């Protein structure tokens, strides 16, 4: 018996928030729907019992799209896009407010459904996970001369169970590591299953744009493009030494490994939070002097929310920080480490106030945030 092959799955729920909303409002199925913006766009009941939905037409405000249904994406709107811009492209798209409590409920449901089949799960936020399938019964088996038949059946069972328990579809990539699985889960989206082996890298992975790699963002993407490197294959063709010269020892070496599909990170089943924060972007830019009362009220409220979050989850924070974003979008942060950790709203307010005193407040502000870090468990 040979040693088992490592099989890691990446599971990504399809248009998660929007799909949860479609379960609640099935009459919207097939229509362009976007989730985002303020609380003020709840569907309104009509006299006959049916609902009136807000549309993007004439939207004003600073919100962005959190998720869009595939029908909405076909109209050229996508997550991260400002709602005012989206309103010009798709004025008749339905607009729904975000309901995180409901999404978290479905998140627990789909993760429990996966755990019934494969219990080694790494949380990657509300709508995606990694799963180690290596030791799942049947995953190593060959089915009718298909060497990946066993793991395919396991992944299909996971997808079936998620659909059965939630009514939602997902896309799954199965490969020997997390990096490749993350790429593979996008190959056949929505409602797809892709299995990629190391032999498939040149045909399935190398044609993809470098930006698909988890860890290559807008900045690195632009720099690579300037070097004439657009695809993963083009990146893989670069000498390791050149990448290190251009991007530094750590990141350059990682780019080289990533392009060749090499990644030995384990699936991490437990992690502790590092920080907790609350922030808000104002409806209009505020001035430290002219809008002092309003800013002070918001500031105190953010401190209270951070304190409540810490208390509810049973943590204390020793480093308290603030984040300010000015009208020109420049962002600054200030931190203060206390002698002893706290979850007390007044203590957080006082520390955050001391941080605020270290910032020049002549420019108007568009965002204010409060953060607690250096967390420890509040025992007893």
What residues are labeled active site?
Answer: 128
Taking CA atoms, 78 is separated from 59, 60, 86, in Å, by 16, 18, 8
Sign of CA dihedral 141, 144, 145, 149: negative
Among residues 153, 208, 220, 361, the one that binds DNA under rule CB under 7 A: 220
Cβ atoms of residues 136 and 50 within 8 Å? no
Output 160 or 214, the one with its CB closest to DNA: 214
Report if residue 41 touches DNA, rule: CB under 7 A. no
Quote the CA–CA distance of 307 and 296 in Å, as a whole number.
Answer: 17
Among the listed ranges 22-30, 81-89, 148-156, 195-203, the one in contact with DNA (CB under 7 A) is 81-89
Report if residue 129 touches DNA, rule: CB under 7 A. no
Report if residue 128 touches DNA, rule: CB under 7 A. yes
Among residues 84, 120, 153, 356, the one that binds DNA under rule CB under 7 A: 84
Cβ atoms of residues 128 and 114 within 8 Å? no
Report if residue 203 touches DNA, rule: CB under 7 A. no
Q: How far, rounded to the nearest angstrom, does the alpha carbon of residue 137 sit from its chain's CA centroid?
A: 31
Report if residue 177 touches DNA, rule: CB under 7 A. no
Cβ atoms of residues 221 and 255 within 8 Å? no
Cβ atoms of residues 365 and 282 within 8 Å? yes
- Give the nearest distance from C-beta 140 to DNA in angstroms: 28
Report if residue 277 touches DNA, rule: CB under 7 A. yes
Query: H or E segment at 321?
Result: strand 315-326
Among residues 115, 153, 336, 361, the one that binds DNA under rule CB under 7 A: 336
Cβ atoms of residues 96 and 109 within 8 Å? no
Among residues 287, 335, 356, 363, the one that binds DNA under rule CB under 7 A: 335
How many residues at the interface with DNA, by CB under 7 A?
Answer: 56
Report if residue 122 touches DNA, rule: CB under 7 A. no
Output 139 or 216, the one with its CB closest to DNA: 216
Report if residue 280 touches DNA, rule: CB under 7 A. yes
Cβ atoms of residues 53 and 96 within 8 Å? yes
* Vertex 256 angle, CA 252 and 262, to 5°: 130
Output 120 or 354, the one with its CB closest to DNA: 354
Among the listed ranges 109-117, 130-138, 200-208, 277-285, the one in contact with DNA (CB under 7 A) is 277-285
Cβ atoms of residues 153 and 138 within 8 Å? yes
Cβ atoms of residues 73 and 80 within 8 Å? no
Report if residue 276 touches DNA, rule: CB under 7 A. yes
User: Which parts of this chain interact with DNA (CB under 7 A)?
Assistant: 62-64, 66, 79-80, 82, 84-85, 88, 124-128, 182, 213-221, 248, 250-251, 271, 273-281, 309, 319, 321, 328-329, 331-337, 355, 358, 366-367, 369, 374
């Amino acid at each position: 018996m040979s040693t088992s092959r490592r099989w890691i799955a990446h599971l990504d729920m399809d248009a998660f928030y929007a799909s949860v909303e479609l379960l609640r409002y099935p009459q919207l199925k097939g229509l362009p729907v976007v989730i985002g913006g303020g609380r003020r766009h709840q569907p309104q009941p009509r006299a006959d019992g049916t609902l009136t939905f807000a549309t993007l037409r004439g939207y004003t405000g600073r919100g962005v799209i959190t998720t869009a249904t595939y029908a909405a994406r076909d109209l050229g709107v996508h997550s991260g896009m400002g709602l005012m811009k989206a309103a010009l492209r798709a004025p008749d798209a339905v607009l729904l407010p975000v309901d995180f409590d409901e999404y978290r409920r479905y998140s627990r449901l789909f993760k429990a459904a996966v755990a019934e089949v494969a219990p080694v799960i790494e949380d990657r936020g509300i709508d995606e996970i990694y799963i180690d399938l290596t030791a799942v019964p049947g995953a190593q088996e060959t089915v009718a001369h298909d060497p990946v038949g066993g793991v395919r059946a396991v992944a299909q069972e996971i997808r079936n169970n998620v659909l059965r328990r939630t009514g939602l579809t997902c896309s799954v990539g199965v490969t020997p590591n997390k990096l490749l699985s993350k790429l593979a889960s996008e190959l056949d989206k929505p409602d797809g299953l892709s299995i990629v082996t190391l032999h498939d890298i040149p045909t399935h992975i190398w044609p993809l744009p470098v930006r698909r790699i988890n860890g290559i963002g807008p900045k690195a993407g632009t720099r690579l493009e300037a070097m004439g490197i657009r695809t993963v294959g083009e990146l893989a063709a670069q000498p390791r030494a050149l990448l290190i010269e251009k991007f530094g020892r750590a990141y350059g070496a990682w780019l080289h490994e990533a392009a060749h599909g090499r990644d030995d990170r384990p699936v991490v089943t437990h992690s502790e939070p590092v920080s907790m924060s609350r922030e808000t972007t104002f409806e209009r830019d505020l001035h430290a002097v002219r809008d002092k009362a309003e800013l002070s009220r918001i500031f105190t409220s953010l401190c209270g929310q951070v304190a409540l979050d810490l208390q509810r989850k049973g943590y204390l924070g020793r480093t308290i920080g603030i984040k300010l974003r000015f009208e020109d979008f420049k962002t600054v942060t200030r931190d203060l480490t206390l002698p002893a950790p706290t979850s007390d709203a007044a203590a957080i307010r006082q520390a955050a106030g001391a941080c605020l005193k270290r910032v020049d407040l002549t420019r108007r502000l568009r965002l204010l945030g409060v953060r607690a870090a250096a967390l420890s468990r509040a025992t007893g």
